[in-house]
Structure 1
């Protein structure tokens, strides 16, 4: 791969990164707060590609090349063309966000802790909260800060170890590479007839029922479902 080909690869890669970072596509791979860094990275790649092309295509470039190589051709490793794979992936076959398959392969992330100090839930009936917040209150506070309040959560459907549907949401520390699931068991009006990765909104109340995640033997809290409905996939799929 000569320098001109390398510049083209950089140009395409920078364009792919910039395209992803300026659309919702980047939310499949990184946290929303990293968008400015992605934009900067894309611009730097484009600038590097432009400078390389300018250097190679300037009028005296042919003379410099003759002086540098003394008439002998050098063949760079062909493995360099593998850099095109992420470009093709981003431009043509963008992988989806982490979902039920990833949730089934990893254990729920909630760590154990001995003390808790959760503020009261905000006003509203039902009160909207996250899967992570409900799971934390249900396990570490044993539902005291929830009481008899109705809560409303949004997540995707996954198949639990007993074959019954569970509600899950992936959380990120930085990017999809460190994504881990938070899982909730469902009792009461359990959703039926839904495929894995279907996004739903569930309304229910706290229950003290606890299950176990077979992947890492961690506790999995339950939600007593009163009602549910399918919803469109959210723009921000990670918590």
Structure 2
């Protein structure tokens, strides 16, 4: 039996729609918009506030489970088909429900009374092995925001090359071997409007304030202006390093 060309085109279109709606959203999704805005503006805190609160979804569709991370806490729930075509629902244990859908290459989290609509993208490479929730977003952010080679132009070790790894390792900063960017929680409350990071060696370290302007990265001491019985409140202090990429 032969089909006319218009009929074949219609069948192909319907087939494409069906396969699109039946796609499995399982895997890891990251808030790429927050990463792009952080890189573009140089201000991580503002980007996370504008494009958050959730930074990553991890979906196990076969097990019917989903986890999200907002940078300092996790939410877990059951994952199941939603009421609409191409929709899924996540019943968060003890805190309501989220609706997810696929549009092109984006996973959309619908707006609710407690949060705005958000979009998520597959990371450049799906994580290998079992990474903890939130780790895929961190690696994608660290690679984009801190990646590349930086040169110390002012501060201890002047002239050395510094590399911030996507896995949280840092080389070239004297006496330090790991770093972590503040994404939320207590560290964000303590640093307020300022971007902050943690620098350490062998699990002993300190918080610092940083300013990133294009290819220029300034790392400053974090001065605690709070009283002894209060939560620390950090303000920018003396500059420790000025790096140029």
Q: TM-score, normalised by structure 2?
A: 0.18
Larger radius of gyration: 1
Larger relative CO (CA 8 A, sep 6+): 1 or 2? 1
Higher fraction of strand: 2
Higher fraction of helix: 1
